[in-house]
Amino acid sequence: MPDQLLYGIEAAVNGLMAGVLYALVALGFVLIFKSSGIFNYAQGVFALFSALTLVGIMEGQVPFAHLINSIFGTEVHHFGWHVPAVLAIAFTVLVMVGLAILVERYILRHLVNQPDIILFMATIGLAYFMEGFGDLMWGSDIKTLDIGIPQGGSFWIEENTAWLGGEGFYGFFIDRLDIVAACVAAVLVVGLTLFSQYTKQGRALRAVADDHQAALSVGISLRFIWVLVWSIAGVVALVAGIMWGSKSGVQFSLSLIALKALPVLMLGGFTSIPGAIVGGLIIGMGEKLFEFAIGAPFLGGATENWFAYVLALLFLVFRPQGLFGEKIIERV
Amino acid sequence: MSAQPESYVTPDGRTIGGVMMEMKNITLRFGGVVAIKDISFDIREGEIRAIIGPNGAGKSSMLNIISGFYVPQEGEVWFNGARRAPLRPYEVAGQGIARTFQNIALFEGMSVLDNIMTGRLTHMKSGLFSQALWYGKAAREEHENREVVEKIIDFLEIQNIRKTPVGRLPYGLKKRVELGRALAAEPKLLLLDEPMAGMNVEEKEDMSRFILDVNDEYGTTIALIEHDMGVVMDLSDRVVVMDYGKKIGDGPPEEVRTSQAVIDAYLGVSHD
């Protein structure tokens, strides 16, 4: 095979892997949008906050250390212990569930029956609040997150694919972290799909998404469902936070990955879990291939920044509900 | 009502029991507007109770109070011999009161089967984790409830559309599916808000038959709002007549029909 083709394949595979990470973030949006019609602007910040919390717990950081120190004149920063990753993840999940309960109690409950735009505004407020709150709680310095996921290129894949090309080809370079992320995402999606299709809570969740009044009349507690959904979205955010955080460090820019999820959602549809995944893969692969084939040679590179949005715009024109979005049925 | 015996048998052989639900001096206001003014009536076990009246009389508001969507400012709601504290609609559903809506409220994106399955939610007790893992109890429960739902689908003669998304169905069938969802809860009290509104004669006959069969076969107590006087006279055991938020009549259909106040409300009479 010609080397150029092999590099193209490598770009595509790496694109797919990056796409999985986009999909993880998009998934959080879809879950909340599907069940409550709210576009949760804070989903990216949730990922950041969960990753910060995870690092903080693992490292034994004292929460609000700066605040405590400046008020009481103390010098506490760390408890001096290290928590194993599994335990720390469990604690972080609890924190995210707690967050979901607070969001329901202090935001959603007061905005029932308000127009969607009001709820959207509320999530923008929530995003900025969480951003500042995360900083206050865990400090604003860049942290590294290592929960033991293997990183770096997989030698096994490199060695076993080197024969495909000529002298100058050393095999495909694929990050092991990306492979793990892909597996985790697959499990998450299959699990969530089964849950929403075949369990009573899943059915209740879809019911709430469809019609609040009707849901109430069959005995569904909206509050419980909201807490459930926001908890699941929080856990998905945590998974996204772990993957992105392990890759590029836990820092403010993590919250901006939410922006990458937007074109994924336009492509896959705001209401479809499989759509979020397929959308993520198409965007991830599309932007890498475009960069490789057209961007770098002819356009001076850096096309990855805008390619996803152009693609999403095209989709909006021809298929506004997205690839997998629920078909808009309108009887006249 | 105290004049009536504790329980009696109707001419067509159904047994009407004691009082199941009692509304005492209910007053409901929206801001300054009085929607319901000091109304009292009861619903007896096993009967079909109709609430009629011109548009804006407060009939739907009354149904919304029974199902917990509205909380009256004054008055008491008694259910099964105990005073009911103000409940949320989902808690009322949990007590065995199911309802349909005037402007159909179905889950449009879900299939007919799934829609009716949601009606079983109050009967499904397995917890979140057992559900999520889909083991033992949760799976068995799903199958049991599925059987109940299939029976209802047969009963309502909608086997051929069970997998169709509700959004695609014509109006008459939607009304039937909504009834199915309410029936799935195996309610003690079934509230129907204009079950025959907008239907043609044939559809009305079907719906009337279903309502009578439900009442007859399962002994379900039914309270319904209806405009079509003919239907009301055929179906109901007792009728409450409302006009401008007040009760102007209460009794068996033939008695209500001849009441001067009711005739005035329906045909219109100058109030000065």
Q: What is residue B1's predicted lDDT score, i.e. its pLDDT?
A: 44
Cβ contacts of A59 within 8 Å, gap of 6 or more: A78, A82, A143
Burial class (CB in 10 A: 0-12, 13-18, 19+), A224: middle
* Distance from C-alpha of A308 to C-alpha of A196, rounded to nearest angstrom: 29
A132-147 average pLDDT score: 88
What SS3 class is residue A332?
A: coil
Mark whether B121 and B171 lie in a shared domain.
Answer: yes
SS (H, E, C) chain B: CCCCCCCEECCCCCEECCEEEEEEEEEEEECCEEEEEEEEEEEECCCEEEEECCCCCCHHHHHHHHCCCCCCCEEEEEECCEECCCCCHHHHHHCCEEECCCCCCCCCCCEHHHHHHHCCHHHCCCCHHHHHHCCHHHHHHHHHHHHHHHHHHHHCCCHHHCCCEHHHCCHHHHHHHHHHHHHHCCCCEEEEECCCCCCCHHHHHHHHHHHHHHHHHHCCEEEEECCCHHHHHHHCCEEEEEECCEEEEEECHHHHHCCHHHHHHHHCCCCC
Q: Are A82 and A147 in contact (CB under 8 A)?
A: no
Mark whether B200 and B170 lie in a shared domain.
Answer: no
The reply to whether B75 touches chain A by the CB within 8 Å rule is no
Interface test with A, best of B91, B115, B118 (most A CBs within 10 A): B118
Q: Which of B106, B109, B122 sits opposite A326 (nearest CB)?
A: B109
Mark whether B212 and B129 lie in a shared domain.
Answer: no
* Distance from C-alpha of A316 to C-alpha of B214, rounded to nearest angstrom: 48
Q: Are B36 and B26 in contact (CB under 8 A)?
A: yes
Mark whether B149 and B235 lie in a shared domain.
Answer: no
Which residue in chain B is spatially nearest to A192 when comparing CA positions? B132
% pLDDT > 90, chain B: 60
- Radius of gyration (C-alpha) of chain A in whole angstroms: 21
Mark whether B24 and B88 lie in a shared domain.
Answer: yes
Q: What is residue A273's predicted lDDT score, i.e. its pLDDT?
A: 81
The reply to whether B67 touches chain A by the CB within 8 Å rule is yes
Which ipTM did the prediction report? 0.82
A36-56 average pLDDT score: 90
Give the pLDDT confidence of A77-121 residue by residue, as tens digits.
Answer: 888 888 898 999 999 999 999 999 999 999 988 887 788 889 899
Tell which phi-psi region holds residue A133, choosing left (phi > 0), alpha (psi between -120 and 50) or beta. Answer: alpha
Check A213 against B108: CB less than 8 A apart.
no
Per-residue pLDDT band for B272 (boundaries 50, 70, 90) equals low
Which residue in chain B is spatially nearest to A197 when comparing CA positions? B114
Q: What is residue A326's predicted lDDT score, i.e. its pLDDT?
A: 63
Mark whether B116 and B192 lie in a shared domain.
Answer: no
Token reading at B255: 């008695």
Residue B269 predicted with pLDDT over 50: yes
* Distance from C-alpha of A108 to C-alpha of A190, rounded to nearest angstrom: 28
Q: A292-306, A312-326, B70-84, B122-136: which has the minimum mean pLDDT?
A: B122-136
A198-220 average pLDDT score: 86
Q: Are B160 and B112 in contact (CB under 8 A)?
A: no
Residue A225 predicted with pLDDT over 70: yes
Cβ contacts of B205 within 8 Å, gap of 6 or more: none
The reply to whether B117 touches chain A by the CB within 8 Å rule is yes
Burial per residue of A281-310, b for 16 or more beta-carbon CB atoms within 10 angstroms, e otherwise: bbbbbbbbbbbbeebeeeeeeebbeebbee
* Distance from C-alpha of B260 to C-alpha of B263, rounded to nearest angstrom: 5
Q: Which residues of B touch A100 (CB under 8 A)?
A: none
Give the pLDDT confidence of B188-203 residue by residue, as tens digits.
Answer: 999 999 999 888 899 9
Mark whether B88 and B193 lie in a shared domain.
Answer: yes
* Distance from C-alpha of A18 to C-alpha of A244, rounded to nearest angstrom: 10
Boundary (domain end) residue, out of B186, B217, B239: B186
Q: What is residue A331's predicted lDDT score, i.e. its pLDDT?
A: 57
- Radius of gyration (C-alpha) of chain B in whole angstroms: 19
Considering only residues B130 and A181, tell me which one the structure prediction assigns the higher pLDDT.
Answer: A181
Boundary (domain end) residue, out of B132, B162, B186: B186
Domain count, chain B: 2
Residue A280 predicted with pLDDT over 50: yes
Interface test with A, best of B64, B67, B91, B107 (most A CBs within 10 A): B107
Mark whether B89 and B4 lie in a shared domain.
Answer: yes
Amino acid of residue B87: L
Q: What is residue B126's predicted lDDT score, i.e. its pLDDT?
A: 65
Q: What are phi and psi of A304, to 5 degrees?
A: -60, -25
Token reading at A263: 């074109």
Q: What is residue B136's predicted lDDT score, i.e. its pLDDT?
A: 66
Mark whether B92 and B41 lie in a shared domain.
Answer: yes
Considering only residues B266 and A180, tell me which one the structure prediction assigns the higher pLDDT.
Answer: A180
Burial class (CB in 10 A: 0-12, 13-18, 19+), B130: middle
Which domain CATH number covers B134? 3.40.50.300
* Distance from C-alpha of B33 to C-alpha of B132, rounded to nearest angstrom: 47
Torsion of CA A153, A157, A160, A165, to 10 degrees: -70
Give the pLDDT confidence of B14-48 residue by residue, as tens digits.
Answer: 888 889 999 999 999 998 899 999 999 999 999 99
Q: How far is CA A13 from the centre of its chain?
A: 20
Per-residue pLDDT band for A327 (boundaries 50, 70, 90) equals low
Mark whether B125 and B213 lie in a shared domain.
Answer: no
Tell me which residue has tokens 């849950």: A195
Q: What is residue A186's predicted lDDT score, i.e. its pLDDT?
A: 84
What's the domain range around B254?
1-96+188-272
* Distance from C-alpha of B85 to C-alpha of B87, rounded to nearest angstrom: 6
Mark whether B143 and B42 lie in a shared domain.
Answer: no
Q: Are A222 and A112 in contact (CB under 8 A)?
A: yes
Q: Are A25 and A47 in contact (CB under 8 A)?
A: yes
A contact set with B (CB within 8 A): 194-195, 198-204, 206-207, 209-211, 213-222, 228, 326, 329, 331
Q: Which residues of A touch B114 (CB under 8 A)?
A: 203, 206
Task: Kindly report the average pLDDT of chain A as a whole number.
Answer: 86
* Distance from C-alpha of A199 to C-alpha of A296, rounded to nearest angstrom: 48
Per-residue pLDDT band for A156 (boundaries 50, 70, 90) equals confident
Per-residue pLDDT band for B3 (boundaries 50, 70, 90) equals very low
Boundary (domain end) residue, out of B186, B211, B228: B186
Considering only residues A222 and B131, tell me which one the structure prediction assigns the higher pLDDT.
Answer: A222
Amino acid of residue A136: L
Q: What are phi and psi of B241, to 5 degrees?
A: -110, 130
Mark whether B177 and B207 lie in a shared domain.
Answer: no
Residue A332 predicted with pLDDT over 60: no
Q: Are A237 and A51 in contact (CB under 8 A)?
A: no
Amino acid of residue A174: I
Measured CA distances, B135 to A199, B145, B148 (Å): 11, 16, 21
H helices of chain A, in order, are 3-36, 43-59, 65-72, 85-106, 116-138, 155-161, 176-198, 200-210, 212-217, 222-248, 257-268, 273-290, 296-298, 304-318
Which residue in chain B is spatially nearest to A207 when comparing CA positions? B107
Task: Give the gap in angstroms from C-alpha B138 to the nearest C-alpha of chain A.
Answer: 8
* Distance from C-alpha of B4 to C-alpha of B267, rounded to nearest angstrom: 30
Give the pLDDT confidence of B149-206 residue by residue, as tens digits.
Answer: 999 999 999 999 999 999 999 999 999 999 999 999 999 999 999 999 888 899 999 9
Task: Tell me the angle at which helices A257-268 and A273-290 cross, rounded to the nearest 10 degrees.
Answer: 110
A168-196 average pLDDT score: 83
Q: What is the pTM of this model?
A: 0.81
Tell which phi-psi region holds residue A249, choosing left (phi > 0), alpha (psi between -120 and 50) or beta. Answer: left
Measured CA distances, B42 to A165, B233, B239 (Å): 86, 18, 11
